[in-house]
Structure 1
Amino acid sequence: MTREVRVRYAPAPTGYQHIGNIRTALFNWLFARHEGGKFIIRIEDTDRERSEEKFVTQILDDFRWLGLDWDEGPGVGGNFGPYRQSERLEIYRKYTEQLLTEGNAYYCYCTPEELQERRKVARKERRAPAYDGRCRELSTEDQRKLEAQGRPRSVRFRVGEDREITFEDLVLGKTTFESRQLGDFVVLKSDGRPTYHFGVVVDDWLMNVTHVIRAEGHLSNTPLHVLLIESLGAPRPKFAHLPSVLSADGKGKLSKRLGALSIVEYRRQGYLPEALVNFMALLGWSPGDDREFMTRDELIESFSLDRVKKSSARFDTEKLDWMNASYIRKMPAAELIPTAERVLRDAGCNTEAFGNDRLAELVAVYQEKLTTLGELPEKAKFLFVDQVEYARKDVEKFLVKGDGAGLTVLREIHGVLSALPDWTGPEMEAVLKRIVEEKGVAFGKVAQPIRVAITGTSVSPGIYDTLMLLGRERSLARMKDALERFGT
């Protein structure tokens, strides 16, 4: 009988998740959903100094926003909890005792300062800075003396004789390490908390994780984990190490230092979760054809680890922007309202006067020209202020220049629009076209004075859309204000 596929994403709540982290989570989620298995979130919060509850909350909120649900973990429970490492300390102590009893681990009394100095010497002598094993064979009397000195006591795993450690990676293929390169490593720190290596192995074992899908940076950790798995008598999961995501210029691994933004920041800037999921899925994976746009269901149906590329993927910001703009254009305006309303509100725009219908009209007018919805507050700023700020160069060019030719046109337009029985696009189009024909001028000679008067600049959507969005009363009032302010 085939075991149920069980995968996990295990973030440390020490900061916000960036797109490289979430790409790993997404691949786990897609694999679980494709295989009909379980996706687990486990919080690795044993770093007491750096772990914060606000980051736990944000991690889970990121997943909800992206539409990535989880089957076990914080907020949903499960049969293999607790799902926070800080609540599993007794479990780690139990299996540490097993390693000690069976001779696979020993107490180490070396201080951090001593270890650092030995590593420095090893590097100077061009030796591998592995632990030299000096606490391996301490007698009980030696241990008592060291403890009497108040030295910290950690527990180290005994790597053992020289051997090859080989595993079949589902992405990278057969991979081999030499045990002599590893050195004995700490499994339980002096404060009683597990190291990453020990905690992750014990948790994966007891949570029945079948596939460990993680970033390529963890590849060198895998031989340590294989040794621990063997010593504990646990079944070995299948490993899949994902290629790195490189920065936009391809010169380094994507990181906060090299431009990796957090999911929180992408959300703040008005990117759509559908676009981000689609974009991240194609970072190092291909559906096997030339498709660029894929729904969540299509991604689940197509996803497999054998299509994950071995080579690194480059984070292409321009492609993300292009893809996000495409999603904005394709989505019904009504579906964009929640994000549009949030970015407008975050920018200080009072949206209370705008009902959903008007917000949908606003989005529909702009969505063809938006890369992200975060651009909306600046572009539509004139709708949310009582008094526009006039761009002086536009006032000079379209209103004042030529002995106030623009103001003369604007005065006539104000009178004509004031007399309209209905404030509709077709009504306004008819009267403005008539003025254009009577004066024998290009349409811009009529439209631009209106645009500058009601928005403060010469750039806005189509003039009829702009007038409709602003409304009759405010449009006429701003034209009147411009005439009084700049007229002679």
Structure 2
Amino acid sequence: MTHSVRFAPSPTGYLHIGNLRPALFNWLFAQREGGRFVLRYDDTDTERSKREYADAILEDIRWIGIQPDEIARQSDRIALYDAAAERLRAKGLLYPCFETADELERRRKRRMARGLPPIYGREALALTEVERQAFEAEGRRPHWRFRLPNFRDDPMQPERTEVHWDDVVRGRQTVDLASLSDPVLIREDGTYLYTLPSVVDDGEMGITHVLRGDDHVTNTGVQIALFEALDYRTPAFGHFNLLTTIDGEGLSKRTGALSLSSLRADGFEPMAVASLAVLTGLSGSIEALPSLEALGERLDFDGVSASSSKFDPAELTRLNADLVHAMPVEVVAERLLEWGVPDSDLAPFWSAVKGNLSKVPDAQEWAAIVYGDARADQAFNEEDTAFLRTAFDLLPAAPFDRSTWKAWTDAIKAATDRKGKGLFMPLRLALTGLDHGPELAELLPLIGRERALQRRP
């Protein structure tokens, strides 16, 4: 049997790192099992779903390295949901309800006051045809609920009905259907909520494993009942912990929190983002892995934490820096050329600067420092200015190599009697304009004698 999984985002905003977690869990599982990965847009909410968001979602996951085997849109599959709804009506499992939101809330509070669970009491099942027609004459349009199989003979007398499944991540799970309200599948305006389209698509597409966040655990009991009612094969389910901010807050597409598009624009590497999304909350260390294949080898469902996992965005910078420091020049050569690094200097320039970078685009600043013609804009006091003029008078003849820096500074020491920070800091400031950075022994040959002399105060 071919394993089939799906990632079903709503195109109502940009993907963030929390959304990436289920996408990667599904993708890595499919790759490991030689299976199939479906990108399925949950776009039945026509008011909030936007094509621009759908396009951005595809661009984002492809940036990470996820290539869907199939792309589907629920908005193209409405006829399938209509047919499924009719099958449920024919079985007497989908029934119309006319309560308003205010009426439902008042009933909920009354049930709670009586010490009963705040679930829907199936009052609509007791309506006569005359009463239904009266509601319709008032202009009320029904919403439609799925009648859960949680009773023996009388649906008005639900009793404990356990649904069990062996969760791929969490182990044996149980949901009591009697503790749940009959779910609304169809709104008053005839549009579908999440549950029915999701089950129909999973059934029709042959999805074998539904891997998702643990906020869906309770939904699973309802969905298993719906799979059975529609005569679909029930997939295996796996629920993993969600990512939250360091303060424990959930992430939202609507707020743009750590969106993948913003992380990409900020210069983060895809594997830094992917590593953090997957490894946070797993057993073992959080480290920057070089490829999705390596990340897949770390994915162990038995090692997933049972509680929500807080992640620190600062970890992303650390992971990214680790990747950059290990990155060969071939990976960045094209970008370095665009930033003005000569072809002959690509390898020595990258070797000199990468250890000081947290992101590849930071190298652009060093390219401007090394190969720019302008003198560093630094204001030196009278004593340092005199020292630097003497120092630059001692600048060795070209060509420069890695030994030039030591030869030059040895000559300066002998001539000025300066040493340590008093010698090196003014030289660094004059040559680069910054008080920190790569080893000047490696930078000076790249700057060259002519550009160095232009920086003499």
Q: Same fold (TM over 0.5)?
A: yes
Q: Partners of 2:67 and 2:34 in 1: how far apart?
A: 13
Q: Which runs of 5+ in 1 are unaligned?
A: 74-82, 342-349, 484-488
State the Cα distance separating 1:8 from its structure 2 match: 0.7
Q: 1:410 aligns with which of 368, 373, 388?
A: 388
What is the correspondence of 1:301-380 to structure 2 with a 5 Å cutoff?
A: 301=297, 303-337=299-333, 351=338, 353-355=340-342, 361-373=348-360, 375-376=362-363
Of 259-268 and 371-380, more deviation after overlay is shown by: 371-380
Cα displacement string for residues 339-384 of structure 1 (whole angstroms, at most 9, x for unaligned residues):
x66xxxxxxxx95544566566544322212333465566766468
Q: 2:162 aligns with which of 148, 152, 164?
A: 164
State the Cα distance separating 1:302 from its structure 2 match: 5.5
State the Cα distance separating 1:292 from its structure 2 match: 4.8
Change (3 A) 1:478 1:298: closer
- What amino acid is aligned across from residue 207 of structure 2 in structure 1? V
Q: Partners of 2:261 and 2:305 in 1: how far apart?
A: 28
1:345 corresponding residue in structure 2:
none
Asked if 1 retains the 8 angstrom alpha-carbon contact of 2:376 and 2:455, the reply is no
1:280 corresponding residue in structure 2:
277
- What amino acid is aligned across from residue 89 of structure 1 in structure 2? I
Cα displacement string for residues 33-67 of structure 1 (whole angstroms, at most 9, x for unaligned residues):
11111111111011222212222112111111111
1:181 aligns with 2:179: yes
Q: Partners of 1:168 and 1:18 in 2: how far apart?
A: 29
Cα displacement string for residues 185-221 of structure 1 (whole angstroms, at most 9, x for unaligned residues):
2112233321111111111111100111100011111
Asked if 2 retains the 8 angstrom alpha-carbon contact of 1:110 and 1:152, the reply is no
Of 60-69 and 169-178, more deviation after overlay is shown by: 169-178
Q: Which runs of 5+ in 2 are unaligned?
A: 152-158
Partner-residue secondary structure (3-state), 1:271: coil
Q: 2:440 aligns with which of 444, 460, 463?
A: 463
What is the correspondence of 1:75-90 to structure 2 with a 5 Å cutoff?
A: 83-90=72-79
1:449 aligns with 2:436: no
Cα displacement string for residues 229-276 of structure 1 (whole angstroms, at most 9, x for unaligned residues):
111111111111102334335x45566799952222332332222233
Normalized against structure 2, the TM-score is what? 0.86
Q: Partners of 2:349 and 2:59 in 1: how far apart?
A: 28
Q: Partners of 1:152 and 1:356 in 2: how far apart?
A: 70
2:407 corresponding residue in structure 1:
430
2:11 corresponding residue in structure 1:
13
State the Cα distance separating 1:473 from its structure 2 match: 4.6
Identity fraction in percent: 34
Of 264-273 and 15-24, more deviation after overlay is shown by: 264-273
2:197 corresponding residue in structure 1:
199
Normalized against structure 1, the TM-score is what? 0.81
Q: Partners of 1:386 and 1:155 in 2: how far apart?
A: 72
Of 45-54 and 373-382, more deviation after overlay is shown by: 373-382
- What amino acid is aligned across from residue 369 of structure 1 in structure 2? N
State the Cα distance separating 1:149 from its structure 2 match: 2.5
Q: Partners of 2:255 and 2:139 in 1: how far apart?
A: 43
1:51 aligns with 2:49: yes
Change (3 A) 1:285 1:444: closer
Asked if 1 retains the 8 angstrom alpha-carbon contact of 2:16 and 2:251, the reply is no
Change (3 A) 1:205 1:446: same
Of 155-164 and 428-437, more deviation after overlay is shown by: 428-437
Of 32-41 and 312-321, more deviation after overlay is shown by: 312-321
Asked if 2 retains the 8 angstrom alpha-carbon contact of 1:171 and 1:309, the reply is no
Of 358-367 and 141-150, more deviation after overlay is shown by: 358-367
2:83 corresponding residue in structure 1:
94
Of 294-303 and 212-221, more deviation after overlay is shown by: 294-303
What is the correspondence of 1:165-314 to structure 2 with a 5 Å cutoff?
A: 165-248=163-246, 251-253=248-250, 261-286=258-283, 292=287, 294=289, 295-301=291-297, 303-314=299-310
Partner-residue secondary structure (3-state), 2:212: strand
Partner-residue secondary structure (3-state), 2:166: strand
1:486 corresponding residue in structure 2:
none
Change (3 A) 1:383 1:117: farther
Change (3 A) 1:48 1:351: same
Q: Partners of 2:98 and 2:15 in 1: how far apart?
A: 36
Query: How many residues were matched structurally?
Result: 447
Of 262-271 and 83-92, more deviation after overlay is shown by: 262-271
Asked if 2 retains the 8 angstrom alpha-carbon contact of 1:247 and 1:258, the reply is no
Q: Partners of 1:364 and 1:259 in 2: how far apart?
A: 36
Change (3 A) 1:13 1:290: closer
Q: Partners of 2:323 and 2:219 in 1: how far apart?
A: 39
Partner-residue secondary structure (3-state), 1:241: strand
Partner-residue secondary structure (3-state), 1:165: strand
Asked if 1 retains the 8 angstrom alpha-carbon contact of 2:27 and 2:66, the reply is yes
Asked if 2 retains the 8 angstrom alpha-carbon contact of 1:39 and 1:71, the reply is yes
Change (3 A) 1:240 1:356: farther
Partner-residue secondary structure (3-state), 2:119: coil
Of 22-31 and 302-311, more deviation after overlay is shown by: 302-311
Q: Partners of 1:367 and 1:42 in 2: how far apart?
A: 40
- What amino acid is aligned across from residue 412 of structure 1 in structure 2? T
1:344 corresponding residue in structure 2:
none
Change (3 A) 1:126 1:232: same
Change (3 A) 1:281 1:337: farther
Partner-residue secondary structure (3-state), 1:219: helix
Change (3 A) 1:254 1:425: same
Change (3 A) 1:142 1:290: closer
State the Cα distance separating 1:305 from its structure 2 match: 3.1
Partner-residue secondary structure (3-state), 1:136: helix
What is the correspondence of 1:34-73 to structure 2 with a 5 Å cutoff?
A: 34-73=32-71
